[in-house]
Chains A and B, each alone.
Chain A
Amino acid sequence: MKIAVAGKGGAGKTTVSGTVARAFARAGHPVIAVDADVNPMLGISLGLGMDATESLAAVRQDLDHGDGGHEHVATVEAMLERYGADAPDGVRVVVASRVDRPDSGCGCCGITADRLLGELESTGRTVLGDLEAGIGVLARMGAGSLDVVLVVANPTPKSIEVARRAVETAVARDSRVLIVANRVRDDADLDAIRAVLGEHDLVVIPEDPVIARADAEGVAPIDLDAEAPGVRALVALSERLAAQAA
């Protein structure tokens, strides 16, 4: 199964991606996590820590600069093999984009975030892509290349508007859409999200101080407290996705 996570910057895409990936892996599914954000942060939510997350991004950077003896690889699988890293619970993570280019593709080997995510084999394993803020990568993906798009929405008009555009983009590419209503404090928050996105399947992730603290400290929420309400809701989301894939 191939899943992508989209939404406005700061909506919680990376937290959702990292926690769902870890929960999949804990349940015994092989997981490839693709950091398709030009500002790669997925390592933090997966539990690699800030330093390892930064060096993973640096390897991708050096690859394009031709620094550090890193060689280009011809296929996405080889890239995953050689330049990926192992995160806890057996999640394999790879960074797709360079940090400092307006055009995220590598001019030499041509491996862009959308190509990496599109071409990785997803039979017998789950490929989960954490997309950049907005809908750029999603808009460049071909029809049918993603089974599910998780659209993360916070209860603010800006976030809901970006989510609405992401939903349209995913639907136009024949992907199934699941709204992740994140940081929901009360019924009014949920109603605000439902008013615009209510016709789609929706899961609610409650506002949770444990997730805020995990982000503050740079650790995986699932390592800080797997029983926290927000984390449990994300684990339940992974179970729902796994059941639908089976």
Chain B
Amino acid sequence: MSSVRLPDTVDLLARARTVHAAIDAADGIAPLWLATAGKGGAGKSVLSGTLARILARRGHQVLAVDSDPMPGMSHSLGVTEPAVPALLAAAEKPEGAPWRLRRGIGPARVVRDFTTPAPDGVRLLQLGKADKDGLAPVMGAFHAFLHVVHRIGDPPSLRRWTIVGDLPAGPRHPGAGISAYARLYVVLVEPTSQSALTARRILRLAREHLGADVLVVASKVADTEGRERLERLLGEAADLEIPADPAVQDAERRGLAVIDAAPDCAAVRAVQRLADVIEARRVRAA
């Protein structure tokens, strides 16, 4: 399989900060660009899919960004995974040159025409899914994805979009790469040793390395014992809590978006409270 080398971390960070500063100076209000991070199975896709739908219902223009080369976010958004990523058609590879966006296609056009429509008006930008040949069959989509993310703040029209990103499992993506563009990390943590250790690693990277704003969200908390254990394992209390909810498990096993399968369940109501907190923070940031 062909390998992809991302630009150096430091350059990415510097570029991301430049983009953020330019947007803030121009518009005076920070765009809502957030990414969910956490251990595999913590509930990142469920949270980001549900949050994207809730924010869209509140009037945000939402771009859901799925940077995980494994399946996940589309189920939780309530769309069928396209067999071929829509983004592939936006890429071209000239003879002897690297993959690029096709002539005349920029980030705004990609968001409009090469993303997958999801319920409530959400658009889903997907990097493409790896198979036995790795990312080789979707390499064009992969590169188009990177081009779009690196230029996401360039067109003024896109600066007003709310971006909800779903990161691959573990700490390395918050440590580097395109996730540097996120302005808020929602770090999801279950009351288990492995999940807490992962969250500690992610929080350290996000705070010290990226200097990013962070919300710690406890996931699948069943009782007081779980809440206390999480705080002990993590070394800090969560900002917000999503309760353990059989409705989520049930929706997951049926392959449905929980916001469609059980719109009034306790977990969805908790994500609504998270949306309140995120929107309130945004006003403060302005």
Contact = CB atoms under 8 A, between A and B. Distances in A.
B1 A11 contact: no
B48 to A, nearest CB: 13
Contacts of B168: 9, 133-134
Contact of A41 (B131, B175, B194, B226): B194
B41 interface: yes
A104 B170 CA distance: 13
Contacts of B255: 156-158
B171 A39 contact: yes
A216 interface: yes
A54 B131 contact: no
A99 B176 contact: no
A35 interface: no
Given A14-B194, A158-B45, A216-B229, A39 B172 contact: yes
A101 B205 CA distance: 11
A140 B3 CA distance: 10
A135 B132 CA distance: 8
Interface residues of B, number: 46
Nearest to A167: B132
A142 to B, nearest CB: 12
A69 to B, nearest CB: 22
A99 B172 contact: yes
A26 B194 CA distance: 24
Nearest to B178: A102
Contact of B39 (A9, A53, A134, A135): A9
A155 B69 CA distance: 20
A136 B170 CA distance: 13
B169 A133 contact: yes
A80 interface: no
A22 interface: no
Given A41-B197, A158-B75, A102 B192 contact: no
